[in-house]
Chains A and B, each alone.
Chain A
Amino acid sequence: MSLRSRIAVTISVLEMALIAAVLTITLNHSMEGVEGQISSSQKVTIDLLGDLSKAALITEEFDELQTFINGTERDPNIQTVMIGDVDDRVIAATNNDMLGAVMPDLEDSGDRYWRRIDIRGVHSELGSLAIEFSQAPLREAYQYTLKIGVMIAIIGTVVIALAGWLMGHVLTRRLWSLAVAADKVACGENDIRVFLPGCDEVARVGRAFNSMVDRLDENMSALQASRDRLIKPTEAISEGFALWGMDDRLVLCNGQFRKIFGSIEPDIEIGMHHERFSTLIHERLVVRKEEFEPPNNHQDVVRAREIELASGRWISLCEFRTPDGELVGIYTDISARKATEETIRYQATHDALTGLPNRALFGQQLEGALSEATISDKQLAVAFVDLDRFKLVNDGLGHKVGDDLLVAVAKRLQTSIGTEDVVARMGGDEFILILRGLTGIEELQPRVAQILEAMRPAFPVGGQELHVTASVGVSLFPNDGENPDQLLKAADVALYRAKSGGRDRWQLMNRAVDGAAFEQIVLESQLRRAIDLGQFALMYQPQVNLRTGDVIGVEALVRWHHPEWGVMPPEQFIPLAEETGLIYDLGLWILRAACEQHRVWREAGLGHLRLAVNMSPYQLKRGNLEKDFHHILNETGMALDRLEVELTETALMQEGETTNLLQRLASVGISVALDDFGTGYSSLSYLRRFPIDRIKIDRSFVRDISGSQSDGALARAVVMLAHGLNVGVIAEGVETAAQLSLLRHFGCDEAQGFLLGEPVPGNDLPSMIEERNRPPLERVALAAV
């Protein structure tokens, strides 16, 4: 409510209260007066009538009394008059019919009431006087007075209200002009001044206002200068900087701030409210709006977050309240960083060559697909796709062509599946698919056939048309497994069987057929994939010259770091590898890895160490072993005279090609050791026919060499036999000093075992050898330290 209205209302209310009080008092006073008059009139009437009645009763002359009573009819206060004699007979009355009758009972009614008095002479009773008075005149007088009073009150109120309004208008007119000027100043018009002549309070306020605006103008100029000084240092930083005042209005900002938010609000002006700023950001925010709220006004709270705008830009906001209540904001355009992060995240989940999801992402997608299938009560298929004889392409046409072929195959696969299906690359030439929305096995066949059909057309790669086929192993959810691991294993088994069945075909997991050998097949599959996945590692166990105590060589021992079962020793997977033929590739991997490690040692000054590598008899069956050997030895620069191949008697049983191979190896300086000697046929003819350089006494003989006389005799005989044939002897599995002492006593040349050194990673071998070669006293001293 305006002041003007308040003044008018206040005066009106006060006036109404005053009039009401005066009216009440006046009305009461007036009514008391009227009542007094009426009471006096009644008393006079009663006295007069009493005296007249007394005289009339004494004289018994009632004519004059009756005449007088008749005259009371003109009195509005008197309704009825009756005078009775001493016998209570009416002798005079306003109603002539009552004359002579007995005085009636007197009852008040409405606003009428009776007054009855006895008329007595000095000596005796003369009669009685009864007068019925009416309150109507009193009521009428009250109503009349009230009506007049209310009219006066209304008129007075209206007049005073008008007067109050006019007074308010006069008083506030100049205040209004002052308010208008203040509004303009608030809007930034600092050149506004008011002219309020006079010497009253309002004029004084006007002069004070002008002085205030002058000071404000000066302060604004000083503030602008201060702001300029403040903003200069912030122009040098790469972040956007803004300072919002205690009223959340923008006080200052640097150019970087304008640059960052220029696309949102081209005209960022000093004074812009933070709420407006927040709204502008909200409107362009990708994430939910409530995630961007300014810090609380009353707490020194830091709000830092990264927001993504609809334009694709990422901005880092860090806003905090100062103790004074100001809001400081640091804003950084982090779009480039976000893009990099996105790239990294993409690379972490996608295959770099084909752009398909990789194993990790596929795992997540499969989890999601399984959840959906469970909810929708549908089936889905996991299909392993493996290109047949891809290795030939890779080896024959080069890795570049191989990679191009993989990219082309990836595209074919993407076009051959449904929009909801997923294709990922697992590594090498293996792809894996999720086929969704299956209601039964019958729907599976056409969709897998479509995939195989997609492989039929030639792939134009490297300027030539390549024809490749693929084998597909399929597992079904939930028939073949309820989780990704089970389904992948099942699909792997199915793939294995497809491959075994002749390739270019697909095979559904058949538990009836594959049930018993399932785990074996799974292991095969995993073993086959372990090389690509880098799950194999080599450990090196030192071999010691028993005469000198020096480490003269190491035996490379393979370990499989299985993701589920942990580190597996060779005896748990080598037989399977030999059975499946994987031993060939595994053997080559071992040879390559060991030779590369030897190169490292060589560079570390340990090039004299002999490197013993086990070779499976199954490797010898492959015709290209020698070629692969040479290839690896050439690549790694392995010194041939430092390489020793350990063969078992079983390998030597394959005469013919094996004999030739060993002789060729020996001709180039590669030594041959006969492993596990004594556990097989131990045919001495092998020693004569093959170029054996060293015999390894099996750990089973060494274990009981000190407790079993026969074992000790056998070991001694082997040593003597070997020496007799000019063949060196090395004992394996030496774990106790007694064993070592006996072997040394028997004349054994070399030994290996936990007593002499546990298998260690290649990188740890130099320090191990250095430790062994340190003089005993020094070792003790170091141990003491």
Chain B
Amino acid sequence: MWDLATSMRKASKRRQIGVRWTNIVVGFLFLGCALAAHSTAAETEPAFKPAYRLGVFPYMPALTIDRLYGPLVESMSLELDRLVRLRTKSTFENFEDAIASESYDILFVHPFFYVDAVDHYGYLPLARLDRPLNAVLVAADNSETRALGHLQGQTIGLPPKLAAVSKLIKSALVDEGLRPGLDVGIRHFRNKMSCLQATRAGAVAACGVPAFILAELDVIDDGSLQIIYQAPPANHFAFAIHSRVPADERALLQRLILSLGDGSIEGFGGKERFVQIDEQDYADIRETTTTLKTLAQR
């Protein structure tokens, strides 16, 4: 005769055995998942840190920039424990596009590009050169042109259109009441020497260049050229860093840049000193930019 109690005990016992086996299986599954998760985590962890790209304004040939900025880039890499690659462009326009595309992690650009990058793209101020940018306008020594006002109806030579000096001189012309391109003809040269040579030859009435170049070329002392205008000093080149760079690394880089100038590295940064950027440091640049944009819109 069928014993209900017995059957229930057997059923209870079977359930107990089933629960016990279920616990073992679950335990193994848990352990397997844990190991798999650990393995996956280990596999997804990058083997190395992606390199940062330092974009340097192409105020010199790319190879010269590489030579000058190589030691600095190496210092950055060491500081960040991450590879930093130096990049530039062949033209100012291309570089401008690169900034616009935010392809660089770190920027070292002239004031106008700096303002543009910080104001319109995801870059943050990092440090600026601790010296001013002086733009001057020189004319031939025997030229009748002695002041900005004499440029009316003449053509002057300037660096490429997007160069900082060009913007500063144009701004000065505007301040003088001369409309660049209308009252004063503008001819952009690819390099400073050709512009100065054209001035000396009388092809242009004057040439706008950074002030430091005059000392290097000794064109003033030899009496062949004369400074007819000196623009108000503006803050010089500056480092900016993209906001995607972690803050700790931004801080590391800033500390590195601010520590430059002691001659510990060769090339650029060996003797140049940098300071932190104040928000008002480039106000006049922003103003000039606005002026020139307005002028251009007109």
Contact = CB atoms under 8 A, between A and B. Distances in A.
Interface of A: 51, 54-55, 58-61, 64, 86, 121-124
A55 B85 contact: no
B62 A59 contact: yes
Contacts of B71: 122-123
A58 B88 contact: yes
Contact of A123 (B58, B62, B86, B89): B86
B88 A124 contact: no
B83 to A, nearest CB: 7
A61 B87 CA distance: 10
Given A58-B86, A58-B87, A122 B62 contact: no
Contacts of B63: 51, 54-55, 58
B61 interface: yes
B94 A122 contact: no
Contacts of A51: 63
A122 B94 CA distance: 23
Nearest to A86: B85
Contacts of A58: 62-63, 65-66, 86-88
A122 B70 contact: yes
Nearest to B65: A58
A124 B69 CA distance: 11
Contact of A124 (B58, B67, B73, B90): B73
Contacts of B85: 86, 124
B90 A121 contact: no
Interface in B52-111: 58, 61-63, 65-67, 69-71, 73-74, 77, 83, 85-90, 94
B90 A59 contact: yes
Contacts of A121: 66, 70, 86
User: How big is chain B's contact interface, by range?
Assistant: 20 to 34
Contacts of A60: 87, 89
Interface string B250-293: 00000000000000000100000000000000000000000000
Nearest to B67: A122
Contact of A61 (B66, B70, B94): B94
A64 B94 CA distance: 14
A59 B53 CA distance: 11
Contacts of A55: 61-63, 90
A59 B87 contact: yes
16 contacts: A55-B90, A58-B86, A58-B87, A59-B87, A59-B90, A60-B89, A61-B89, A121-B66, A122-B66, A122-B67, A122-B69, A122-B73, A122-B74, A123-B71, A124-B73, A124-B85
Centre residue among A54, A61, A86, A122 by max chain B CB count within 10 A: A122
| Complex A-B, nearest 4 residue pairs according to Cβ-Cβ distance, in ascending order | A122-B70, A123-B70, A55-B62, A123-B74
Given A54-B63, A124-B83, A59 B73 contact: no
Given A121-B70, A123-B70, A59 B89 contact: yes
A650 B261 CA distance: 191
Centre residue among A54, A55, A58, A64 by max chain B CB count within 10 A: A58
A609 B58 CA distance: 182
Centre residue among A55, A86, A123 by max chain B CB count within 10 A: A123
A55 B74 CA distance: 18
A59 B70 contact: no
Given A51-B63, A58-B66, A123 B87 contact: no
Centre residue among B65, B70, B89, B90 by max chain A CB count within 10 A: B90
A86 B50 CA distance: 13
B264 to A, nearest CB: 15
Centre residue among A54, A55, A64, A121 by max chain B CB count within 10 A: A121
A557 to B, nearest CB: 160
B197 to A, nearest CB: 25
Contacts of A86: 85
Interface in B215-247: none
A469 B20 CA distance: 171
Nearest to A122: B70
A59 B88 CA distance: 5
A58 B67 CA distance: 11
Nearest to A58: B62
Given A121-B70, A122-B74, 12 more contacts: A58-B66, A58-B87, A64-B90, A122-B67, A122-B70, A123-B66, A123-B73, A123-B77, A123-B86, A124-B77, A124-B85, A124-B86
A697 to B, nearest CB: 173
Nearest to A60: B87
Centre residue among B58, B62, B67, B87 by max chain A CB count within 10 A: B62
B123 to A, nearest CB: 19
Interface string B195-209: 000000000000000
A14 to B, nearest CB: 60
Nearest to A124: B85
A414 B145 CA distance: 172
A54 B61 CA distance: 11
A311 B238 CA distance: 144
Contacts of B86: 58, 121, 123-124
A513 B159 CA distance: 172
B52 to A, nearest CB: 12
A55 B86 CA distance: 11
Contacts of B67: 122
A55 to B, nearest CB: 4
Contacts of B267: 122
Nearest to A55: B62
A489 B73 CA distance: 152
A123 B61 CA distance: 17
B89 to A, nearest CB: 5
B90 A61 contact: yes
A57 to B, nearest CB: 9
Nearest to A63: B90
Contacts of A61: 89-90, 94
A54 B87 CA distance: 11
A122 B73 CA distance: 9
B266 to A, nearest CB: 9
Contacts of A123: 66, 70-71, 73-74, 77, 86
A750 to B, nearest CB: 174
Contacts of B87: 58-60
Contacts of B88: 58-59
Contact of B94 (A54, A59, A124): A59
A754 B73 CA distance: 168
